[in-house]
Structure 1
């Protein structure tokens, strides 16, 4: 049975390490926890973001590139020193997507996607688990996605990375079942963030210049990624995820999974109810696909 320490709620003075704080969910989460009195250690990848982040007055800032193993190691040690060797919670939020049909996604692109979304996140989680076992308590929260349990077309590399993250998390839960560490998955659907902008930039970098039979589909996708219009239906602000994170941190015994936004909840239910082929047709429509 788990130690009672693992199920106690985090008190406001405790340290929470958050990756990907430059914008979106990471920044909204860091802001909310900071307002609630937590010692937020905000991680950022681009050095140009530091001056802007410092204006928020978070407890500490650490540069972290999850694609670089040395950066992960150094960032963790720096964060641990800043936290006086006591980090209660790790929120694995940093991730990105490279859109495109899988037949156009090279091995190099897939490796680039996994370096951050899977390998770096796993390395950081390993380091956190070792420390949390040593200190006798801790909480790890992975920011997954509706695409971590339901695939959509043109998002294959991101789907695969989030499916992998969920597989790692499910295994870690079993392996930590008798240890004083809680492991939680957040599974948001559409959220207002820089994700679409960054996805478009990655598409231009990796996919756009090569010939493809999906050219017309890509044009439609680019219009969606770059449209300066109201968000798609059921899209929530990044603060919606931050509020769920706060509830996870405050819970004496958090749930294993938190589905955020109506699409995430709906597709979780539809996966259980619909035949696979029916669900595939629905997902093609939801993906913005269809006949070329």
Structure 2
């Protein structure tokens, strides 16, 4: 699949046409004004969008289906800015600020360090102090959950035919899990579910940014209802939507269970989902559900305050 080295108005028009979207709907998809999209397209190769919009365009293209990529390739044939077959997710280096990561020996999953300190929590940005902790870089996937099911004979999610995850969903977040299912996985892995404050700090950073990537509302940086995909996406899909700790999918894709119990039998959920409007994906927003609830848009990730040793440290290049 193609990637774009530097977007100009010409590639913007090609992507919009490949996605078969109007100027208004494409602008809403990117989180910008229709007037800006019109300006880009009118000026063609004579205009280059700002870096934040370049990132949004990158994510929009990367999350598109095969047919969109094929149409985009035809529309941009001969463009020196469009590069074919850039390589998979593993070819992308982690940004340097994402160095403090390790592999947890319980389930082998990558975790990011969130350092101790005060962060600004909730819509009112109230100061809250938290000690050091690690949080999963990605939501627990169907592949991860498969190993748990095989090791414990725990009930498989209902969307797995014959009790096994479809191959094409192995790198998608596991769904159709109750709070008890998520807690059982966490216990098996030697971890816990995150508190809502742990989850929120990982998403917003110590300064209380509105979104993991900053304060600009950009729906193209996550898998919310506005993406139009109507399903989960691979957990490493949205590179431009990571938090400052290198943590993915803290907006959209699936709701995630937290420890907090605001009332008996109910637990908090964070992140929003592919079924939710972008406005519901704000990390400071409150949502909860009955512990027995399970749906196609609800999963989880885990935390660890003091991961057991040995643990292999992952250092960014």
The alignment's TM-score, normalised by the length of structure 1, stands at 0.25
Q: Which has the higher helix share?
A: 1
